[in-house]
Amino acid sequence: MTIPLEASILGHDKLIERFRRGVAAGRLASSFLFVGPPGIGKRTLALKLAQALLCETHPEEKLEACETCAACQQVTAGSHPDLQIISKPADRSFIPMEAFIGDREHRMREGLCHDISLKPFCGGRKIAIIDDADYLNQEGANCLLKTLEEPPPKSLIILIGTSEPKQLPTIRSRCQIVRFAPLPTATVAQLLESTGRVADPKEATQLAELAGGSLSRAVEFSVSETREMRDKLLELLSSESDAAQAVRELNSFVDAAGKDAPRRRQRLRVLIHLAIEFYQQLLHTLTGRDAIGDPAMIEAVTRGRVSISDVEVAANCLERCLDAQAHVESNANQATLIECWLDDLGGYACGRS
């Protein structure tokens, strides 16, 4: 059985063909940096590439996986001896240095840099996938640099992040950049249906329109509570409202995630990302372009132009949202962050800041 990558990963045919040509010509680079919005298939493509390159049934130049051999099944299970996957622990702000060079008792005898230097167990390649590369700090990056500069033979390292500016210059300069575009709305809708997340085609299309090309965002908006909060936040951003009530509602929405800190942070990320989208679209209209998005977003932007008609004010609001996004990742206190963030946005809109 042959499973072409294009059949298992929708929306990225050109990127897959680029990798297939590189493998067939024997010119596949050793280090790649995948960048693009969350939830568009970067990690999935990295895993499928690993599966195709390690498949025991098909030669790697075909870049196809049978998905039935021992190697393919081990990649799916995350247990292949020649594949290492690293990501940020939920309770940490950065990927720990130990993930690359081992703890103090096993320095340079464990971790990615040690493991990828070993001869492949199955005679093919050694592959490492670094998810959450946005959370590489200087310490972790320094541990990785030598491996990126002098990669072992037949090794492949794939780092996955959301944007180039979030990566340290020393990392960017040592990787080939692969830029992922948001998925088409029709593709997101198709994935929602095919994965069984949404049964109604009309609802799938509506969620896809809200998602901005991201499957993970579409899944988030499939929760009615999140859609309702989206409408409330767009109303808040686009018109004058009771700031204290807004703070209470946003805190209540985040608190509804329970005591699990990662889930709470994810809810706050959703809110801040929505505000970023709003101000981006507002800037588009203030500079003579049309707003894009679903009807609710376009309507909110139209209202917002009445209270925020100055490009500099809209830009300041956008910058404040980006700051808030960074504060979420540094584990800032939720209640304080929300209150200060909304107060600053209101201050810009009213000319207080």
Q: 79-111 pLDDT, tens per residue?
A: 999 999 999 987 788 899 999 999 888 888 899
Q: Is residue 209's pLDDT more than 80?
A: yes
Closest CA to 120 of 161, 88, 152: 152
Q: What is the structure's pLDDT at 92?
A: 83
Q: What band does 353 get if pLDDT is binned at 50, 70 and 90? A: low
Give the span between the Cα atoms of 304 and 288, in whole angstroms.
15
Q: What is the chain's mean pLDDT, rounded?
A: 91
Query: What digits encode the pLDDT tens for the residues 49-68?
Result: 999 999 999 988 888 899 99
Fold of 3-179: Rossmann fold (3.40.50)
Point out the least confidently predicted range of 24-33, 278-287, 294-303, 327-336.
327-336
**pTM, 2 dp:** 0.88
Point out the least confidently predicted range of 103-112, 120-129, 134-143, 234-243.
234-243
Cβ pair 48, 65 in contact under 8 A: yes
Q: What is the structure's pLDDT at 299?
A: 94
Q: What band does 244 get if pLDDT is binned at 50, 70 and 90? A: confident
Give the span between the Cα atoms of 206 and 160, in whole angstroms.
28
Query: What digits encode the pLDDT tens for the residues 168-193?
Result: 899 999 999 999 999 999 999 999 99
Q: What band does 308 get if pLDDT is binned at 50, 70 and 90? A: confident
Tokens, residue 31: 């280090």
Q: What is the structure's pLDDT at 29?
A: 93
Q: What is the structure's pLDDT at 2?
A: 65
Q: What is the structure's pLDDT at 351?
A: 67
Query: What digits encode the pLDDT tens for the residues 144-168?
Result: 999 999 999 999 999 999 989 888 8
Give the span between the Cα atoms of 75 and 55, in whole angstroms.
9
Higher-confidence residue: 242 or 300? Answer: 300
Closest CA to 216 of 241, 247, 173, 183: 183
Instruction: Collapse the DSSP code of 4 into the 3-class scheme (helix H, G, I; strand E, B; otherwise coil) and give the result.
Output: strand
Give the span between the Cα atoms of 124 and 220, in whole angstroms.
39
Q: How many CB atoms sit inside 10 A of residue 307's CB?
A: 13
Q: What is the structure's pLDDT at 112?
A: 95
Instruction: Collapse the DSSP code of 178 into the 3-class scheme (helix H, G, I; strand E, B; otherwise coil) and give the result.
Output: strand
Q: What is the structure's pLDDT at 331?
A: 81
How large a percentage of the chain has pLDDT more than 70? Answer: 98
Q: What is the structure's pLDDT at 71?
A: 94
Map out the domains of the chain as residue ranges: 3-179, 223-350
Point out the least confidently predicted range of 50-59, 235-244, 265-274, 314-323.
235-244
